[in-house]
Amino acid sequence: MKKWIGALLAALCMVTLLPVQAAAVELPLTSRAALLMEKTTGQILFAQNEHEKLEPASVTKIMTLLLTMDAIDSGALAYDDVVTVSANAAGMGGSQVFLAEGEQITVEELLKCVCVSSGNDAAVALAEKVAGVTELFVEQMNNRARGLGMDDTHFVNPTGLTAEGHVTSAHDIALMSRELLTKHPDIRSFTTIWTDSIRNGTFDLANTNKLIRRYDGATGLKTGYTASAGYCISATAEREGMELIAVVMKGETADKRNADAKALLNYGFSAYALVSAAPEEPLPALPVTMGETDSVSLTLPPDALTAVVEKAQAAALERRIDLPESLPAPVRQGQQVGTLTLCSGDTELMTVPILAAEDAAGRSWGRMLTDLLKMAVFAG
């Protein structure tokens, strides 16, 4: 099994794509930094000052949500777990849902408060529930960021309230947004809420992300604002099976920030499509010479079969399969035996390795002797 996993990972590394050119067009953006990413592939479709280290304000809470959902996924936390609000959480300023010290509230409702109303008090209550104290939670935030390759990022708190050294970039926000959506798709059940309530309907919540109501296909994700950070957003939307992540940082106003996010999303949906390289028919078995078995079945890396292409290219796709007539034994499971190339006209868009799905051992001396004897008998 370890050999198979290693071979598969090696094969995944051999997948090649025709690179999509980021920032290939000029978009009328007014915000300081921006980035557009396709979620499934992680392909960057547009970038502007994407690595500049800026304050993210409450967009920080994407990492808070990610760690909370990680804890739920691991079984360390459950949606119906009850959290007793600490004095520290209740004392958070900025946007809040006015949690009181000693108030009891479920993890599910706290997630709703963070996703919909961007409650700083709710974010700290979740952080304390996950890690015990916020200092340990912030350490986990930075560890998770490093694991995702968020090299422009340093977190100081789980809320995004202004603090010295609390910075990230449009590029890194896209990375953690993609991780949250990919690993924990259930988060959309919270991020797509327009209005709701807590405390048995006595306290109303309204989504700070107005694109949820005003942009077709919107799925989230998180807004942010402080006087020093300006207006920020990680806006996500899905159409025709393709989900995009549009990050905007240091916008001048909420309306300009939202206009920039919509411009990014509109560009992505109008110019690009998500396509699959998978062949319409199953791959044929490949004959094996001098093997204990006559053939091996073939497979493709399951996580390497999609690509982002320009819509003009997507209109005329062809798949070219290159395989030998046979394979000499022994054959190892996960061994590359051929290639599948996705083409649009004369342009190769994507090349994927074709792998042996099983082992095929070489014939033993006893088997070869038996075969020779059979041949002699038939010849006689």
Q: Which residues are part of the catalytic machinery?
A: 58, 61, 118
User: Which residues, in sequence order, are bridge partners of residue 30?
Assistant: none
The answer to whether the CB of 265 falls within 8 A of the CB of 215 is yes
Identify any residues that bridge with 318 across adjacent strands, giving them in sequence order.
343
Report the distance separating Cα 243 and Cα 307, nearest Å. 13
What angle (nearest 5°) sits at the alpha carbon of residue 363, between those of residues 361 and 364?
A: 110
Q: Which of 101, 116, 125 is nearest to 198 (CA)?
A: 116
Pairing of strands 203-206, 195-198: antiparallel
Interatomic CA distance for residues 48 and 30, integer angstroms: 11
Residues 271 and 56: their CA atoms lie apart, in Å, by: 28
- Strands 327-328 and 286-289, sheet pairing: parallel
Whole-angstrom distance, CA of residue 75 vs CA of residue 379: 67
Q: What is the DSSP string of 267-289?
A: HHHHHEEEEE---SSPPPPEEEE
- Full 3-state SS string of 189-256: HHHCCCEEEECCCCEEEECCCCHHHHCCCEEEEEEEEECCCEEEEEEEEEECCEEEEEEEEEECCHHH
